[in-house]
């Protein structure tokens, strides 16, 4: 991967071996591999779902009891394991690189790996033995085995350990560098986790106070409506926890990889702080059609949801401007000539450019979902998976794969193997995803429900979903091919590739307007965290007070 080293645009200042300690690198590597294993198995389940749509049912051939058991594997491994593990791994590494010092605690770094592994084993055991076919939303009163909830606890705990380690590292850095602005890469690594620390409180209370005791028989009844409130307190901001690692790459790495510069340090901090502050007070837009939630507060959450769209709009401009600066530096001319001049033959760049392109459609469909009464047309229809496969399924997943094209060589010390396969992989993913999303979105607009075994549905013949199902299936098959290529490239790199001739360096962009031109108050992270807590309180306390008393009417029910 000498191209990365060539295009970093920045001299690397410290001797590598002093900041990347072997005892901190193995948990980073381990979590990445664990996440990729989740991607492989979870992604493969997607193929079974796609084929079910055209009447090919392969579940019993895989020793799975139902479509829904496969769907639970798909959701949990991709939405929780893959994303969390990638985040923990990638943003721990960028914390080291950003602060140019080792993580403050090796114990926490390794603890994050072990808790992630423990959570995975517990949840996987429960799901594979069909004791937790509750999908990744695990809505009560569908009851899963206690092991499943315990697994969820460990997965979240792992992210908290990572966050604690980042904050300790930030504190140590501040002691070593009083009066200096926080390095931008360190800043954007820490802030997503601060956001998540607040956001994850909802699901932590849900599991620890309600579902785990209820699954153990200590608590007899839960209130499904209130449980949904807690779930979605976490359930919307989690999408930014998925997305922000991709933004770290788009803001801080891609500009360097294309030979350009990031425009504004201050605006980048501002965008990440907007996510910290605005991500959490938005969850009710997932509950627009919940009967137990008042419309006044649904309206409040509509506005906050539109507010949190704003930083993504700024991102579209900022990242595009950085790309343009790179394209022009590479000789691109004219209004659009810089686009062709971008290094499309660099697998890492290619994958992430395509991820960005698909994300524009993902973002637009997300605004449709959030648009209050318009939500009635799409809520819980296939439109929604159409949407989020273009966001988390492409913007995040394809960016993560693009990052892997330099990260795996960095971590393994081996050259990227099969560059042309890697290029084809990204194109197939983007094209397959668009075909798939077209099928899902069109189906959803005509009432096709999401999370449903459509190929076996009793009402299938009453609708004209044939084309939609075929597009979904074809898209899924193309994506599976892409996924296969990705893992061939990964395994080829790990096992069949030459050792690197020159070390891969983590690409870090320079800024046109640097940290000294930023606003010093941006670095007061504690203050911004308090503002985020305040907004969450304002957005949720009226909902909770208006809802009480709780309505605990539901015993555990197992109907899968």
Partner 1 sequence: MRIERYEKIFMALTLVVLLAALATIGVGVFAAEVHLPAPAGRVDPRQIRQTAPFDQPGVREVAPGEYEAVIIARAWAFEPNEIRVPRGSTVRFRVASADVIHGFLVENTNINVMVIPGQVAEVAARFDRPGEYVFLCHEYCGFGHHQMFGKVIVE
> Hey, which residues are catalytic here?
236, 240, 387-389, 450-451
d(CA 435, CA 336): 26
Backbone torsions φ then ψ of 414, nearest 5 degrees: -120, 150
Q: Is 531 in the site for partner 1 (CB under 8 A)?
A: no
Q: Of 215-244, which residues contact partner 1 (CB under 8 A)?
A: 223-225, 228
With CB under 8 A as the contact rule, the residue among 37, 164, 431, 457 that binds partner 1 is: 457
Q: Is 336 in the site for partner 1 (CB under 8 A)?
A: no
Q: Is 261 in the site for partner 1 (CB under 8 A)?
A: no
Question: From residue 131 to residue 150, what is the string marking binding to partner 1 with x (rule CB under 8 A)?
Answer: ----x---x-xx--------
Q: Which range binds partner 1 by CB under 8 A, 154-162, 198-206, 393-401, 457-465?
A: 457-465
Q: Of 272-291, which residues contact partner 1 (CB under 8 A)?
A: 287-291
Which residues share a beta bridge with 222? 554
Vertex 499, ends 494 and 501: CA angle to 5°? 140
Q: Of 140-199, which residues contact partner 1 (CB under 8 A)?
A: 141-142
Kindly tell me which of 92 and 225 has the beta carbon lying closer to partner 1: 225
Q: Is 3 in the site for partner 1 (CB under 8 A)?
A: no
Residue 5 burial (10 A CB sphere; 0-12, 13-18, 19+): middle
Kindly tell me which of 45 and 423 has the beta carbon lying closer to partner 1: 45
Backbone torsions φ then ψ of 262, nearest 5 degrees: -75, 140
Q: What distance lies between CA 11 and its chain's CA centroid?
A: 30
Kindly tell me which of 439 and 444 has the beta carbon lying closer to partner 1: 444
Q: Is 446 in the site for partner 1 (CB under 8 A)?
A: yes
Vertex 355, ends 350 and 357: CA angle to 5°? 100
Kindly tell me which of 263 and 429 has the beta carbon lying closer to partner 1: 263
With CB under 8 A as the contact rule, the residue among 177, 219, 328, 513 that binds partner 1 is: 513
Six token digits for residue 34: 């664990």
Question: From residue 294 to residue 333, what is the string marking binding to partner 1 with x (rule CB under 8 A)?
Answer: xx--x---xx--x--xx--xx--xx--x------------
Q: Is 51 in the site for partner 1 (CB under 8 A)?
A: no
Give the SS3 label for residue 141: coil
Give the SS3 label for residue 55: coil
Six token digits for residue 395: 């913007």
d(CA 42, CA 49): 11
d(CA 166, CA 61): 45
Q: Is the peptide bond before 11 cis (omega within 30 degrees of 0)?
A: no
Q: What distance lies between CA 380 and its chain's CA centroid?
A: 20
Q: Which range binds partner 1 by CB under 8 A, 9-17, 65-73, 81-89, 204-212?
A: 65-73
Kindly tell me which of 374 and 491 has the beta carbon lying closer to partner 1: 374
Question: From residue 85 to residue 124, what is the string marking binding to partner 1 with x (rule CB under 8 A)?
Answer: ----------------------------------------
Residue 33 burial (10 A CB sphere; 0-12, 13-18, 19+): middle
* Binding residues with partner 1: total (CB under 8 A): 75
């Amino acid at each position: 991967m000498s191209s990365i080293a060539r295009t970093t645009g920045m001299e690397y200042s410290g001797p590598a071996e002093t900041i990347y300690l072997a005892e901190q690198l193995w948990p980073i590597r381990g979590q990445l591999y664990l996440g990729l294993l989740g991607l492989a198995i979870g992604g493969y389940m997607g193929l079974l779902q796609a084929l079910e749509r055209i009447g090919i049912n392969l579940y019993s051939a895989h020793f799975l009891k139902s479509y829904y058991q496969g769907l639970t594997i798909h959701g949990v491994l991709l939405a929780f394991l893959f994303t969390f593990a990638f985040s923990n791994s990638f943003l721990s590494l960028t914390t080291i690189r950003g602060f140019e010092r080792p993580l403050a605690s090796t114990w926490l770094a390794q603890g994050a790996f072990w808790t992630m592994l423990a959570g995975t084993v517990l949840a996987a055991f429960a799901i594979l033995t069909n004791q937790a076919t509750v999908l990744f939303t695990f809505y009560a009163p569908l009851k899963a085995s206690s092991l499943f909830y315990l697994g969820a606890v460990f997965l979240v705990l792992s992210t908290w350990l990572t966050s604690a380690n980042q904050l300790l590292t930030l504190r140590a850095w501040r002691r070593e560098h009083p009066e200096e602005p926080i390095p931008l890469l360190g800043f954007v690594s820490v802030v997503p986790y601060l956001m998540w620390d607040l956001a994850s409180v909802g699901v932590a209370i849900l599991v620890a106070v309600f579902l785990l005791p209820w699954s153990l028989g200590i608590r007899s009844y839960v209130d499904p409506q209130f449980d949904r409130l807690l779930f979605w307190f976490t359930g919307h901001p989690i999408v930014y926890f998925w997305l922000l690692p991709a933004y770290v790459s788009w803001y801080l790495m891609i500009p360097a990889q294309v030979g350009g510069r990031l425009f504004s340090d201050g605006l980048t901090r501002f965008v990440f702080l907007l996510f910290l502050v605005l991500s959490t007070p938005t969850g009710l837009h997932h509950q627009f059609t919940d009967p137990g939630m008042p419309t006044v507060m649904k309206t409040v959450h509509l506005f906050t949801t539109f507010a949190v769209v704003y930083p993504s709009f700024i991102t579209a401009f900022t990242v595009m401007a950085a790309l343009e600066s790179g394209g022009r530096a590479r000789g691109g001319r004219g209004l659009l000539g810089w686009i062709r001049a971008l290094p499309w033959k660099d697998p890492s760049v290619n994958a992430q450019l395509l991820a960005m392109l698909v994300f524009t459609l993902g973002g637009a469909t997300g605004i449709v979902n959030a648009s209050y009464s318009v939500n009635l047309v799409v809520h819980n229809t296939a439109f929604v998976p159409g949407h989020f496969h273009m966001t988390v399924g492409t913007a995040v997943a394809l960016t993560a794969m693009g990052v892997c094209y330099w990260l795996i060589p960095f971590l393994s010390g081996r050259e990227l193997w099969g560059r042309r396969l890697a290029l084809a992989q990204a194109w197939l993913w983007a094209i397959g995803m668009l075909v798939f999303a077209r099928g899902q979105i069109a189906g959803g607009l005509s009432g096709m429900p999401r999370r449903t075994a459509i190929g076996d549905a009793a009402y299938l013949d009453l609708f004209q979903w044939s084309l939609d199902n075929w597009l979904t299936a074809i898209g899924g098959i193309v994506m599976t091919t892409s996924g296969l290529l990705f893992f061939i490239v990964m395994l080829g790199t790990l096992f069949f590739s030459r050792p690197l001739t020159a070390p891969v360096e983590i690409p870090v962009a320079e800024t046109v307007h640097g940290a000294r031109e930023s606003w010093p108050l941006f670095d007061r992270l504690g203050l911004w965290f308090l503002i985020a807590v305040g907004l969450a309180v304002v957005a949720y306390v009226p909902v909770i007070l208006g809802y009480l008393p709780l309505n605990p009417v539901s015993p555990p029910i197992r109907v899968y």
